[in-house]
Amino acid sequence: MAGQHRRRFDERVVPHRRRSPMRLRDWRLRTKLATVLVVPSVAFLVLAGVQTSSLVGQTTVLSDFAEQVGIGREITTAVHRIQQERDRTAGELAELRRAAGSADRNAAIEELEPLRAATDQAIADLRRAADPLADADASWRVAFSEVLEAYDRIVYIRPAVPPAVLSSDTILSNYHRAVGALLDLLAEPNPGQDRPALSDAVLRYVQFARVKELASRIRAELYAAARAGRYGSEDQVVLSDLRAQQLTALGAFRVAATTEQVRRYDQMSVDPAFAAAAELEERSLPTTGVTPAVLPATQWWAASERRQELLGQAEESVLTDAVRQADDAATGQLRTTLLVAGGIVAVLLVAVLISLLIGRSLARSMRLLRSQALRIAQVELPDALDRLRTVSGGVPHIDVAPAVVRSLDEIGELAEAFVAVHRSAVSVAVEQASMRRNVNAMFVNLARRSQVLVERQLELLDDLEREENDPDQLENLFKLDHLAARMRRNDESLLVLAGTESTRRWQRPVGLGAVLLAAAAEIEQYQRVRHESVADLHIVGHAVGELVHLLAELLENATAFSRPDTVVSVTARADAADAVIEITDRGLGMSPAALAEANTVLATPPAADVATVERMGLFVVSHLAARLGVRVRLHGGQGGLVAVLQLPGVLLAPAPAEPLDAAIPARMLTTGYVAAPSAGAIDLPVAGRRPVAVPRQRRPLPVRAEDVLAPPTVDGGGSWWSRQGPPAPKAPGPVASAATPVTGGVNARGLPTRVPMAQLAAMHGSVRPQPGPNAHDPDPDAVGGMLSRLYSGVRRAEAEDTTEIPVPPTGGHGEGGRQ
């Protein structure tokens, strides 16, 4: 799991303080680069947007102007049709009044009907052309609405023409109003103040339209007089005023018109049709002493109609020039707007592209540097430290990868500096690994030397126990023997601390119950351990030694940190393919924080340091569990602590074909120990166990683990204690139980002399030790009597002694330390 977590180097590094989006220095590099790119771009876009908006506004204005100028063709057509209807209506009204209403009204209607239809059609065309301009400026829409209103008045006044009930001025004024509204609409297009040429173009065709309108009004007056056969009292005054306005409008047009337009007008004025109409009009001019002539109605109408057609053609040419100029201006403005907008977009794209390339290069370098830094911090450096921490032989060579950023800028220099830091850290770790290897070698040498001394001490104790006859002195020797065995376990803990395996080996599978008994035999207060229920399982031989050591540390912890009057319960059960062992005490317990810390250490064995010595038992258990693949967890129990061990299936073995008799160890037989089950529980042996109840606590005597786990052979192969390791296994032979206990003879007092492991050696066919010079084969009855006297002395000593309460060592720590 640790390796998996360590390889997730793409995770974010947790900052040492909370990141605030309001602080600029806390922004991510990507955000800063984006800000550097976005802020100038936004500013540029704002300025470009303002400029583009202005250009788009001008383009829209010119486009609307061109459309309004373009609709001038429909306007001039409508004006021309209304002028024809008005002028002919003026003549018909005059004829109806001259004949005092007796004229044929139907004939008048027939004369006007085609002209009215043409006017209606021209207005309809104007309506259709004006539909796209529904969103035009307000002034144009108002002028157009006035045109429609004036036309409605014309439609309303038409039925009053045949009866001639209204005056001519009343009827014709509606036509004058409609024509004036159309001319005002014709003058509405406005290109803006900065477009004087376009304004002049509009002014030219408006002025020429007024010239044409005045010529049409003159025609109407002369035609009405011709149909009436005379001039009215005010006709000459009106004609004179109209001619003066016409001359003024024509002069204004010639001033504003271009040379080409003036030339075309002059060329039109010499046209024979135009000249004939002008000649007829001159006859109607008043002269001194001569009455103006009344023109022939038919001749004047035909001549004036041809002149109006020529004026209409000239008006259309002037309007066409204005439309072309307006379209060119709108198209040019649109082109300019598109070019400016395209240039802005192109400049922005180039700037963004360059910024992205630079930002991408910078971000890529930073991303590579970040990835390398995280990979070094979370994968490479921890893996190198793990390799150097767990090295057992020579210190390996650790390669440091070069920097992934090859640029020569500050980021490249930073990458090189980081690689240098990594190389320095690896160098320091290599030096520490070398130093730790030397320290471990010192630990191993000291532990080996201490083991040799302890083994010699145990051999000496065996000799002394074999020759001792005093029961009290023999008990003391047994206690010294047990202390020496515990010292040997401390030496093995030093070997674990140094990362070296234990030298004790077991070749064949061993029953789990025997392993638990052996572990209990390794601790000080072994008499408080109770085996509640133990499944019939066997442990593979190569794991027996380390498993016994692990269990002994846990049992030592449970007895040292619980009251002396309580017991430590041990249960073992099969769980699917695994085995579960639970060690329960009724002691001080641990706080939740300490319990969590201890379980963390058990799950992940730490490296050896000063704190390891203070809690060496916890360190030893974690490392032994890691070696064996055993999962150890501590749980808070009812007033104590529960240690749960889960043994994997690889540590379990089938029962051996030839079972070993480990129910009564040799030392226990020669010293009066008895191991008897009681109510399904297995108790460690206590001295002097009899079927009758004893009112006081019996004094326990120690045993060793090798007494519980007796060797299966007598040649040392596969024994519990072996420095050279187990040899090749031999074919097992039949195992027969010894008929009588094996002793080393009797001493001067008649007591049997103890021979360690002699019983098991006899069971496996080993050679019995030769008795001493004074030894002889005792009589069974004599031996029974001597044992009875021994038991009586033990009971008498127990009756005289007070009850002993074992007290944990001072300082609150057992040999293994609290786990």
Kindly list the domain boundaries of the chain, sorted by start residue: 67-343, 455-728+737-800
Among residues 585, 525, 519, 506, which one has the least CA distance to residue 549?
A: 519
Residue 394 and residue 441: Cα distance in Å, rounded? 12
The tokens for 795 are 């009971």
Average pLDDT, integer, range 561-577: 89
- Beta strands (DSSP E) in 431-528 are 510-511
Angle, vertex CA 265, rays to CA 262 and CA 268, nearest 5? 155
Residue 207 scores a pLDDT above 60: yes
- Given this model, what pLDDT does residue 84 score? 93
Element (H, E) at 683: strand 681-683
Please state whether the predicted TM-score (pTM) of the whole model is above 0.75.
no
DSSP character at residue 12: P
Long-range contact set of residues 611-616: C-beta below 8 Å, sequence gap at least 24: 612/497, 614/817, 615/817, 615/818, 615/819, 616/493, 616/497, 616/816, 616/817
Encode pLDDT of 488-536 as tens digits: 888 888 788 777 776 667 778 889 989 999 888 888 888 899 998 888 8
How many angstroms separate the CA atoms of 230 and 103, rounded? 17
Domain 455-728+737-800 has CATH 3.30.565.10: yes
DSSP letter at 651 equals G
Residue scoring higher pLDDT (678 or 568): 568
Task: Enumerate the β-bridge partners of residue 681.
Answer: 678
Beta partners for residue 581, in sequence order: 572, 645
The tokens for 445 are 């040498």
Output the DSSP codes for 509-578. -EEHHHHHHHHHHTSTTGGGEEEEEE-S-EE-GGGHHHHHHHHHHHHHHHHHTB-TTS-EEEEEEEETTE
Provide the edge-to-edge strand list for the sheet that holds 538-539: 510-511, 538-539, 652-653
Least trusted range by pLDDT, from 105-114, 177-186, 665-674 = 665-674
Mean pLDDT for 776-794 is 54
Q: What is the pLDDT confidence band of residue 124, given thresholds at 50, 70 and 90? A: very high
What pLDDT, on the 0 to 100 scale, is given for residue 551?
92
**765, pLDDT greater than 50:** no
The dihedral sign for the CA sequence 256, 258, 259, 265 = negative
- Rounded-to-integer distance, Cα 282 and Cα 292, Å: 9
Indicate the DSSP class of residue 679: T
- Distance from chain centroid for Cα 423: 32
% of the chain at pLDDT higher than 70 = 74
Predicted confidence band of residue 115 (pLDDT cuts 50, 70, 90)? very high
3-state DSSP assignment of residue 758: helix
Choose between 737 and 238: higher pLDDT.
238
- Token code pair at residue 121: 């059609």
Hey, what are 589's tokens? Answer: 């317990």
Give dist(CA 69, CA 201) in Å, integer: 10
- Pairwise CA distance, residues 81 & 37, whole Å: 65
What tokens appear for 643 in the block? 């240690």
Whether residue 587 has pLDDT greater than 70 = yes
**According to the model, what pLDDT value does residue 786 have?**
59
pLDDT single digits (tens) 16-61: 556 666 666 667 777 777 777 777 778 877 887 887 888 888 888 8
Q: How confident is the model at residue 638 (pLDDT cuts 50, 70, 90)?
A: confident
| Model pLDDT, residue 778 | 52
